[in-house]
Amino acid sequence: MALLLPSHPQVSVSLLLLLSVLSLAAGGKLLVVSVDGSPWFSALEMFEVLKQKGHEIVVVASDANLNVKPSENFILKTYPVPFTEEGLLGRLQSFLKGLFDEGSFLERFFKVRENIRKVSESTIIDCEQLLHNAELIRYLEQSNFDALLTDPALPCGAILAEHLSIPSVYFMRGIPCGLDFEATQCPNPPSYVPRLFSDHTDHMNFLQRVKNVIFDTSNLFLCDFIFKPYEKLASEFLQRDVTMLDLYRKASVWLLRFDFVLEYPRPLMPNMIVVGGVNCAHKQLSQVGCALVLILVLIDFRAPRNVILQVIYIFSSQWQ
């Protein structure tokens, strides 16, 4: 059946203009900042789906990134930094290796602190180069993005979202010092949620809860150390005093890259969505291979013995 337009010319023109605007509004513009490393592989799959739905994606990354490479699914904008990809990779590998080193709490704390300092030096310089790149910032300001996707563990995306006055979507595994709990006002009781390096489960006796509270005080020594340089940079760039907590509180959606197979259950706020623990590229593994990988990960993260035995039982029953 043919489409019948109203007889009045002004109404016809208005209707055609409205349909044109609606067709243009079908796809949005997404800016992606500070997403690299293992999260990048998860983001790639998301970009492919968004591209198929008609959305335009612009990815901003330094020319010394780890995994961000050109793709037909997005527009890549790069900026120069005064260090190499090899140097950045070396600092990151040292940091990750230090997380699994044995030793007392103090030994592990100071080793992690030093490795964080080395990695932070690179990420802060990276953020400075982005925010001070006048040509790139001008392009972003004129592009009229609908939203910004970022990993808030690297705060540069949060700073840029505030500057551009656009909603921010956090695609994250965690933020140092538990600022994600504080920013979202999410319950985080030390009697229930295990703290870093405590080796506790979510079932603790009284003495373990006391130990958990003591371990939680380590955040007081890490937060300023990690975030003060970013707060100084953000205040200079935005031309007003801000804290990272102020910026994190403005996030619209938190996409959490984990699930409760490897995480202890904890309270979540309505705008926090668990999207699964996919932190690497998808590879085809046999059922036996998947089981072995999962069991090794559980052991490495010191999962309770009953959980490991339960996983072994589930997979062995499926093979029979």
In a domain, 130, yes or no: yes
Asked if pLDDT for residue 160 goes beyond 60, the answer is yes
Joined together, the tokens standing for residue 264 give: 């202890």
* Residues 292, 251 share a domain: no
Q: Which residue has the higher pLDDT, 226 or 7?
A: 226
Mean pLDDT of 310-315: 49
Domain encompassing residue 46: 27-282
In a domain, 5, yes or no: no
Residue ranges of the alpha helices (H) in the chain?
Answer: 9-24, 39-52, 85-99, 105-131, 134-142, 156-164, 179-184, 206-216, 219-238, 244-248, 287-300, 305-319
The share of the chain scoring above pLDDT 70, in percent, equals 69
Confidence bin at 166 (pLDDT 50/70/90): very high
8 Å CB contact between 222 and 109: no
Q: Which range among 84-98, 169-183, 249-263 shows the weakest confidence by mean pLDDT?
A: 84-98
Mean pLDDT of the chain: 77
In a domain, 20, yes or no: no
pLDDT in tens, 23-43: 445 578 999 999 987 788 888
Asked if pLDDT for residue 91 goes beyond 80, the answer is no
Give pTM, 2 decimals: 0.74
* Residues 301, 257 share a domain: no
How many Å apart are CA 74 and CA 30, to the nearest integer?
10
Beta carbons within 8 Å of 252's beta carbon, 6+ residues apart: 147, 167, 168, 169, 271
Q: Which residue has the higher pLDDT, 312 or 117?
A: 117
Angle at 18 between CA 17 and CA 20, to 5 degrees: 65
* Residues 78, 215 share a domain: yes
In a domain, 314, yes or no: yes
* Residues 73, 93 share a domain: yes
In a domain, 8, yes or no: no
Confidence bin at 285 (pLDDT 50/70/90): low
Beta carbons within 8 Å of 260's beta carbon, 6+ residues apart: 274
Q: Which residues pair with 148 in a beta bridge?
A: 31, 168
Beta carbons within 8 Å of 272's beta carbon, 6+ residues apart: 184, 186, 254, 256
* Residues 208, 110 share a domain: yes
Beta carbons within 8 Å of 55's beta carbon, 6+ residues apart: 27, 28, 29, 30
* Residues 142, 93 share a domain: yes
Query: Can you give the length of the chain in residues?
Result: 320
* Residues 291, 238 share a domain: no
Q: Which residue has the higher pLDDT, 9 or 106?
A: 106
CATH number at residue 97: 3.40.50.2000
* Residues 295, 235 share a domain: no
In a domain, 88, yes or no: yes
